């Protein structure tokens, strides 16, 4: 498994939102939340499996994430193990606790959309 460097992890951890641009829809970036837990980068679809960007990368697709003038190519990997899902959920609740939408990304029907992003 490829890992982001410490500087990139710190930058991603500090972002409230990033944009994700998939290979299937390169002209349309989607703004999403991102968390870093134990050195791994996680994203989830707030719309569940219906989310277009999620459908584009759910089966191990490639995308580009954009933040603070950076455009990083990434590969999405399903984070289906209970430990990864729990770590991501804990970090979503910690990071976004002030948002009225924080609970929406830890609903049981959303957990299966947890993806780990790895650098390409």
CA gap 63, 9 in Å, rounded: 17
Residues in the chain: 120
Give the pLDDT score at 91.
Answer: 98
Pick the CATH number of 6-119 from 3.40.640.10, 2.30.110.10, 2.40.480.10, 2.60.40.10: 2.30.110.10
- Residue partners of 46: CB distance under 8 A and separation at least 6: 32, 33, 101, 104, 105, 110
Q: Mean pLDDT, to the nearest integer, of 104-118?
A: 96
pLDDT digits (tens, 9 = 90+) for 28-54: 999 999 999 999 999 999 999 999 999
Number of other residues whose CB lies within 10 A of the CB of residue 107: 12
pTM for the full model? Answer: 0.96
């Amino acid at each position: 498994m490829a890992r982001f460097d410490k500087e990139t992890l710190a930058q991603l951890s500090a972002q409230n939102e990033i944009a994700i641009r998939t290979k299937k829809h390169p002209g349309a970036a989607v703004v999403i939340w991102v968390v870093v837990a134990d050195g791994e980068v996680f994203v989830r679809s707030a719309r569940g499996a219906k989310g277009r960007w999620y459908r584009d990368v759910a089966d191990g697709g490639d995308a580009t994430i954009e933040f603070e003038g950076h455009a990083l190519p990434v590969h999405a990997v399903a984070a289906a193990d209970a430990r990864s899902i729990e770590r991501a959920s804990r970090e979503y609740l910690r990071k976004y606790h002030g948002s009225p939408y924080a609970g929406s990304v830890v609903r049981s029907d959303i957990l299966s959309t947890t993806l780990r992003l790895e650098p390409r």
